[in-house]
Amino acid sequence: MINIEPERLKQQLTFLFEIDKLKTIIRRNNLIATPERLENSAEHSWHLAFYVLALAEHANEEINVFRTMKMVLLHDIVEIDAGDTFAYDIQAVDTHDREVLAAKRIFGLLPADQAVEFMSLWEEFEAGATPEAKFAVSVDRLHPLMHNYVTGGGSWKRHDVKRPQVDKRMLPIQDGSVTLAETVKAILDDSVEQGMLKTS
Amino acid sequence: MINIEPERLKQQLTFLFEIDKLKTIIRRNNLIATPERLENSAEHSWHLAFYVLALAEHANEEINVFRTMKMVLLHDIVEIDAGDTFAYDIQAVDTHDREVLAAKRIFGLLPADQAVEFMSLWEEFEAGATPEAKFAVSVDRLHPLMHNYVTGGGSWKRHDVKRPQVDKRMLPIQDGSVTLAETVKAILDDSVEQGMLKTS
């Protein structure tokens, strides 16, 4: 590759080439459009940006939509090094340390000021404490649930996930949006009734 | 599916389910990470959001980064109905009419106020007249060029594309960013030198 000038642009392009790898990280949930294919984390992040844009009015508190969108667009980039952790995997406890290292390496490819901004957005998402992070976490939980529901069970069936596990996983949604949490409850009730999700 | 209340939320979710289809629209350029796989338009749009975020400082004029990001995230949604048009395809002239119909149908799934906002962002991108649209168009042209360059020729080689065609295609980049246009020129010179791109 040619030596790109200025140095800042070179660092930015290096980061942009690196994150292409997120398109190869495969999640456990399937697509809606072609349920035989599992989703990758880049297209998932794209979809979440629209969950934020379209659903922001349902947040419990008024949110900065731009910051929330940036959070969902970058929250999974750490998976390039750390891999995707299935929500219902018991071994998920050790992943946070690996993800911190990944965030430092990958965001560290950018010029320092941008690295700090991206790192801070990622940490805000992980901490889940601000109204923006709470809503970002809500849509991140909501999205695969919707894919499972609309495709007749999806990863719940494939991985024999039970209603109490899903209820627990969906608990943070109420902190971001009571409206969405109520919708989730109705959808899970219907999923059980339709035989897509077992209670035990 | 259960009857979701309120009606606005139902419309928003219907839109969010519909746009899942963008993940099945395959472009002509390959990934960097796994060059044997072609990119889909959803992951392309995700990547462009980061091109905007990381490179905004190189825009000729100061841009509203949030609006520019929304533009690149939604600019390809019309392909769900209209299909992806290869940049070097002569038949591309007829696609705009199909894309207008597609935008009306798909954005029209949203509540009216949101449909108007999304339609207006899409029209702004298509018109390419504002500083934000000019920069959005620039990164949309830059992105596949970078993938071709970094993977040794990519779709230029597969589709026997020549330097003058690429130069013409890249012309709008200078309207968005002279810095990026200069980088593109250097990259294309090197691509010819390295034998990735033929001059005639």
> Are A55 and B2 in contact (CB < 8 Å)?
no
Interface test with B, best of A43, A55, A121, A196 (most B CBs within 10 A): A43
Nearest to B58 among A9, A17, A51 (CB): A9
For residues B121 and B132, what is the distance between their CA atoms, to the nearest angstrom? Answer: 10
> Are B33 and A23 in contact (CB < 8 Å)?
yes
Q: Which residues contact B109 (CB under 8 A, 6 or more apart)?
A: B11, B14, B15, B18, B115
pLDDT per residue as tens digits for the range A59-117: 999 999 999 999 999 999 999 998 887 777 766 657 888 899 999 999 999 999 999 99
CA distances in angstroms from B16 to A48, A86, B9, B96, B135, listed in the order given = 9, 23, 10, 23, 26
Burial class (CB within 10 angstroms; exposed 0-12, middle 13-18, buried 19+) of A185: middle
> Are B47 and A19 in contact (CB < 8 Å)?
yes
Q: What is the largest CA-CA distance in chain A?
A: 61
Which residue in chain A has the smallest CA separation from B40?
A: A43
> Are B31 and A16 in contact (CB < 8 Å)?
no
In one-letter notation, the amino acid at residue A1 is M
On whether the CB atoms of residues B178 and B142 are closer than 8 A, the answer is no
> Are A187 and B149 in contact (CB < 8 Å)?
no
pLDDT per residue as tens digits for the range B31-68: 999 999 999 999 999 999 999 999 999 999 999 999 99
pLDDT per residue as tens digits for the range A121-178: 999 999 999 999 999 999 999 999 999 999 999 999 999 999 999 999 999 999 999 9
pLDDT per residue as tens digits for the range A28-52: 999 999 999 999 999 999 999 999 9
> Are A24 and B2 in contact (CB < 8 Å)?
no
- Tell me the sheet residues that pair with B123: none
Q: Which residues of A touch B54 (CB under 8 A)?
A: 12, 15-16, 110, 114
Nearest to A32 among B15, B17, B186 (CB): B17
Q: Which residues of A touch B47 (CB under 8 A)?
A: 16, 19-20, 23, 42
> Are B17 and A53 in contact (CB < 8 Å)?
no
Q: Which residues of B touch A47 (CB under 8 A)?
A: 16, 19-20, 23, 42
SS in 3 state form for chain A?
Answer: CCCCCCHHHHHHHHHHHHHHHHHHCEEEEECCCCCCCEEEHHHHHHHHHHHHHHHHHHCCCCCCHHHHHHHHHHCCCCHHHHCCCCCCCHHHHHHHHHHHHHHHHHHCCCCHHHHHHHHHHHHHHHHCCCHHHHHHHHHHHHHHHHHHHHCCCHHHHHCCCEHHHHHHHHCCHHHHCHHHHHHHHHHHHHHHHCCCCECC
Q: What is the largest CA-CA distance in chain B?
A: 61
Distance from CA of B15 to the nearest CA of A (A): 9
Give the model's pLDDT for residue B93. Answer: 58
On whether the CB atoms of residues B157 and B115 are closer than 8 A, the answer is no
pTM over 0.80: yes
Nearest to A17 among B19, B110, B150 (CB): B150
Which residue in chain A has the smallest CA separation from B10?
A: A183
pLDDT per residue as tens digits for the range B102-148: 999 999 999 999 999 999 999 999 999 999 999 999 999 999 999 99
Which residue in chain A has the smallest CA separation from B37?
A: A24
For residues A47 and A45, what is the distance between their CA atoms, to the nearest angstrom? Answer: 5
Q: Which residues of A touch B22 (CB under 8 A)?
A: 46
For residues B3 and B167, what is the distance between their CA atoms, to the nearest angstrom? Answer: 52
Interface test with A, best of B2, B73, B122 (most A CBs within 10 A): B2
